[in-house]
């Protein structure tokens, strides 16, 4: 049996309805709060045996319109969690993204040692947070392992994301929003598989270790749109 505490700011992208099935479970606690607030984060980390830090602003288009919110949440928020983990000695698993690597211009997959070449304020903010994690390991000996997942999808995902956006458009018999020639390639990772990978890293990840997590399902945006249309 594991007790779980969820800290969430509940921005436009979140809703407590997603957690309704866990309400009343004595093992589950929900805290409404901001990951960038020290007074909120530190007491929670003091009570924890392990921290999974996944809180982030994550929509690339919004980061282009307003990057400040991404820096505050993704960089400052990560520093607050890291500092709390350093003070309490609590191990942490940081949820980063493959977006930190930028475009994959070579044949094959990204390697964990590849340089960061972020192409958006969102990716840059996650790269900064990723590097902060590494710095806390090297400087303070904080136990932090990092997972870098590909494009995640699954139930209850916000409709601004590609797959739910495509599905909703197809159901409404509207054109699917494919930009350019639709040749951009993405690798897709089902959320349950990603959670299993995170749990594995929690149990056996090395301090300072970084782990790329992929789903093995790579599609162009155009092929994804075609598959959604065929399914719907």
User: What pLDDT does 107 receive?
Assistant: 64
Q: How confident is the model at residue 204 (pLDDT cuts 50, 70, 90)?
A: very high
Residues facing 94 on adjacent strands = 53, 146
DSSP 8-state symbol, 114: S
Distance (Å, whole) CA 230 – CA 98? 28
Residue 130 appears among annotated catalytic residues: no
Q: Residue 160's closest CA among 110, 122, 109?
A: 122
Above 90 in pLDDT, residue 219? Answer: no
For 152, the token pair is: 């995640």
Catalytic choice (34, 57, 99, 130): 99
Does residue 106 have a pLDDT over 70?
Answer: no
Overall domain count for the chain:
1
Residues 137 and 146: their CA atoms lie apart, in Å, by 11
**Selected catalytic residue, list 101, 122, 136, 211:** 122
Active site residue 107: no
Question: Which stretches of 150-207 are assigned E, i.e. beta strand?
Answer: 151-153, 185-190
> Considering 8, 57, 83, 98, which one is annotated as catalytic?
98
Using alpha carbons only, what angle is made at residue 48 by residues 46 and 52, rounded to the nearest 5 degrees? Answer: 120
Question: 90 in a domain, yes or no?
Answer: yes
Domain membership flag for residue 75? yes
* Residue 106 domain-assigned (yes or no): yes
* pLDDT tens per residue across span 122-179: 999 999 999 999 999 999 999 999 999 999 999 998 888 889 999 999 999 999 988 8
Note the pLDDT tens digit of each residue in 71-99: 999 999 999 999 999 999 999 999 999 99
| CATH code, domain with 100 | 3.40.50.720
Average pLDDT, the chain: 93
Does 8 qualify as catalytic in the annotation?
Answer: no
Q: Which domain holds residue 107?
A: 4-152+189-215
Is residue 29 a part of any domain in this protein?
A: yes
């Amino acid at each position: 049996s594991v007790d779980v505490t969820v800290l969430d700011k509940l921005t436009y992208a979140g809703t407590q309805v997603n957690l309704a099935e866990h309400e009343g479970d004595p093992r589950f606690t929900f805290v409404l709060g901001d990951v960038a607030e020290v007074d909120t984060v530190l007491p929670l980390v003091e009570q924890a045996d392990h921290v999974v830090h996944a809180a982030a602003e994550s929509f690339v288009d919004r980061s282009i319109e307003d990057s400040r919110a991404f820096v505050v949440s993704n960089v400052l928020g990560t520093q607050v969690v890291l500092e709390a983990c350093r003070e309490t000695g609590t191990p942490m698993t940081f949820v980063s993204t493959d977006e930190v690597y930028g475009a994959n211009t070579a044949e094959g997959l990204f390697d964990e040692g590849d340089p960061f070449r972020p192409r958006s304020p969102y990716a840059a903010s996650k790269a900064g947070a990723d590097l902060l994690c590494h710095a806390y390991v090297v400087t303070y000996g904080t136990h932090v392992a990092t997972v870098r997942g590909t494009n995640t999808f699954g139930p209850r995902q916000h409709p601004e994301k590609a797959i739910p956006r495509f599905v909703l458009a197809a159901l409404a018999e509207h054109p699917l929003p494919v930009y350019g020639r639709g040749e951009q390639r993405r690798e897709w990772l089902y959320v349950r598989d990603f959670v299993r990978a995170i749990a594995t890293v929690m149990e056996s990840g090395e301090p300072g270790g970084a782990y790329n997590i992929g789903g093995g399902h790579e599609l162009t945006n155009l092929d994804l749109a075609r598959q959604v249309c065929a399914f719907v």
